Structure 1
Amino acid sequence: MAPTMVAEWETQKGVIMAFPKASSDWAEYLDEAQTCVVAIGRAIAQHERLILITDDAASTAPHFAGLPNVAIVEMPYNDTWMRDCCVIATRDDERVIYNDFVFTGWGGKFAASDDDAISRRLFDAGYFDAPMITYTEILEGGALESDGAGTIMTTSSCLCNPNRNGGPTKATMEAYLAENLGASRVLWLDYGHLEGDDTDGHIDTLARFCSVDTIAYVGLPDESDSHYAAFVAMEQQLKSFRQANGAPYHLVALPFVAPMHYDDERLPATYANFLIVNGAVLVPTYGVPQDDEALHILQNIFINREVIGIDCAVLVRQHGSLHCMTMQLH
């Protein structure tokens, strides 16, 4: 069996982020986006190292003054969604290995050549202290959830999409995940997709492993919501999932964020897009009534970690949120 994909709650060595820049889709509300990323980055740096990619280190550095845990790195990049273009960590008994897959802007939707090169450039510059394997297949971090013990949870809408790897079958992807990420089991979600999502249904917008036996997931919206039927089906499928020992999972529903719009477009806001770091969980909030409930629910799950809400309403204007902006190193 190949080294196994690491669970997010395992000890981390740092988190990679990228700073919103003027020559990107963030330009219209650049100050808001940068303020949000500074808040996330400073929260990370209280717990572990932050590796922050920017196009202008001199203007970015003052936002993180006084924080010794921050490395600011100038390099080319297209956008800020590090979850999907940076390395995925695996571990065997002796070492961590970083796995660098191809990133094509979610099936060729957006320019991505510089983002695809970020992991190689960071590795070559000495920012990774473990070996790295480079692949020719497309795979995105936000598409995979691992329990660290050989179970990977994912979505068929993304991994079997014709716009990635030619539209492989589930069986083909299961064999690939077993060979390269140590997956002894794959749990497939076939339902659930947030309007406005560019990723073809990444699992990290829908359902998340919180431990080997607990899954937090996006609960049901109002019955009048266009998402209702799909999320009923998703919930039923989650209830059918079993742990490796045959027991059902402990399922915890997160609130479905009330409809948010920008420029007449519904936004894919989700509380499932939280980030686990050493000693804390960073949770996106959206300035809506469900924020407090989501934080309370997650604090009850992660009883030994500080749960920190960070306003990410600006991020979903570009169809992602907090977890999408980050990738942890182990």
Structure 2
Amino acid sequence: MSFRMPPEWAPHERTWMAWPGPNPTFSNEEELAEARAAWASVARAVRRFEPVTMVHGPGQGESARELLGPDVDLVERELDDAWMRDIGPTFVTDGHELAAVDWTFNGWGAQGWARWEHDAKIGSYVADLAGATTYASKLVNEGGAIHVDGEGTVLLTETVQLGPERNPGWTKAEVEAEIHAHLGTHKAIWLPRGLSGDYPPYGFGTLGHVDIVAAFARPGVVVAHHQPDPAHPDHEITKEVIGLLKAQTDARGRRLEVVEVPAPTVLEADGHWADYSYINHYLCNGGVVLCAFDDPRDEIAAGIFRRLFPGRTVTLVDARTIFAGGGGIHCITQQQPKI
């Protein structure tokens, strides 16, 4: 393939999302209603900057339209859950043609709470709707488990792509070869693991997605989650990750500049260690949609992102309900690059 995955800050054609429906993640009507309100808040924030298409389950279009308003496009398809970053395709381009990588999806490592009969087919479905040529991959992977700089570098996590729950028997070299072939990258930077709240026994975790820990802000610059409180287990984890990133060079040989973004002050949520993170943001045309937690550090994070993206409008959206379901704003959005 001569295609590559553009960085998230490159121009978008639109954003794809998936509408929450009844499932184990939203186990009662109250939780489902809260989730739908949260997803709608993100969709409306993104829609200020670019078109949004929401995939919803059969018979759920009316409820979606009521909360989303008239200017979000709706399409109907069977769904299991609502994390479009992970179930949707990873769009790539050669500059002239749109293509999409359809990773194998197995419910974030076949976790006991997950359902994926329908979600495993959403990648090819969305790719078809977008008019993209689809390339299927045998690698079990999700969009939240990769982050690229658009110049040959990709961030990965050892507990995801190399975990026995997803790709038993695959070597690091085999994973890298498959990732590079599809994304047009040629250097992988591996993080040892994700945040503590992303693993059992805590809630609906992904077993270590990178997009809650670190992300490229531009070539050579990475934003990284920093937990300053030594009482939280992520204090040591993020210290290790930040040290590793500072010692790394990218595909073009540049030493990485690491911008540390402090975690919210809250340490626990829903009875376990909180994995609240501002890193799980979404870049759209002219905007940054940033997770908020009704926390004193919300504005600190917003200031960091305003400095990093001076030409973009930073919009804070309360993400606590989304995090209760196992992810954040980046996890429920998927960009389609403009050709």
Q: TM-score, normalised by structure 1?
A: 0.93
Deviates more, 1:26-35 or 1:73-82: 26-35
CA RMSD of aligned residues (A): 1.7
CA distance in 1, matches of 2:183, 2:23: 35
User: C-alpha deviations, 1:220-253, integer Å up to 9, x for none?
Assistant: 3212222222221111101111133323122111
Answering whether residue 187 of structure 2 is matched by residue 180 of structure 1, we say no
Answering whether residue 275 of structure 2 is matched by residue 268 of structure 1, we say yes
Deviates more, 1:253-262 or 1:95-104: 253-262
- Show structure 2 runs of 5+ residues with no match: 200-204
Corresponding residue for 1:161?
Answer: 163
CA distance in 2, matches of 1:267, 1:114: 30
Give the paired residue count: 326
Corresponding residue for 2:121?
Answer: 117
CA distance in 1, matches of 2:247, 2:74: 45
Q: Secondary structure at the match of 2:208?
A: coil
Q: Secondary structure at the match of 1:59?
A: helix
> 1:282 aligned to 289, 294, 300, which one?
289
The one-letter code sitting in structure 2 at the alignment partner of 1:135 is: S
Residue 136 of structure 1 and its aligned partner are, at CA, apart by 2.9
Deviates more, 1:189-198 or 1:73-82: 189-198
CA distance in 1, matches of 2:49, 2:37: 19
Deviates more, 1:213-222 or 1:300-309: 213-222
Q: Secondary structure at the match of 1:4?
A: coil
The one-letter code sitting in structure 2 at the alignment partner of 1:130 is: A
Answering whether residue 21 of structure 2 is matched by residue 14 of structure 1, we say no
CA distance in 2, matches of 1:48, 1:256: 29
Q: Secondary structure at the match of 2:196?
A: coil
Q: TM-score, normalised by structure 2?
A: 0.91
> 1:195 aligned to 194, 197, 214, which one?
197
Deviates more, 1:199-208 or 1:110-119: 110-119
Residue 263 of structure 1 and its aligned partner are, at CA, apart by 3.9
> 1:65 aligned to 59, 69, 75, which one?
69
Corresponding residue for 2:220?
Answer: 213
The one-letter code sitting in structure 2 at the alignment partner of 1:230 is: I
CA distance in 2, matches of 1:23, 1:171: 37
Deviates more, 1:202-211 or 1:132-141: 132-141
Corresponding residue for 1:5?
Answer: 5
The one-letter code sitting in structure 2 at the alignment partner of 1:193 is: L
Corresponding residue for 1:329?
Answer: 336
CA distance in 2, matches of 1:261, 1:223: 14
CA distance in 2, matches of 1:263, 1:247: 41
User: C-alpha deviations, 1:288-314, integer Å up to 9, x for none?
Assistant: 111110111111101111111000111
Corresponding residue for 2:202?
Answer: none
- Show structure 1 runs of 5+ residues with no match: none
CA distance in 2, matches of 1:312, 1:115: 23
Residue 259 of structure 1 and its aligned partner are, at CA, apart by 3.5
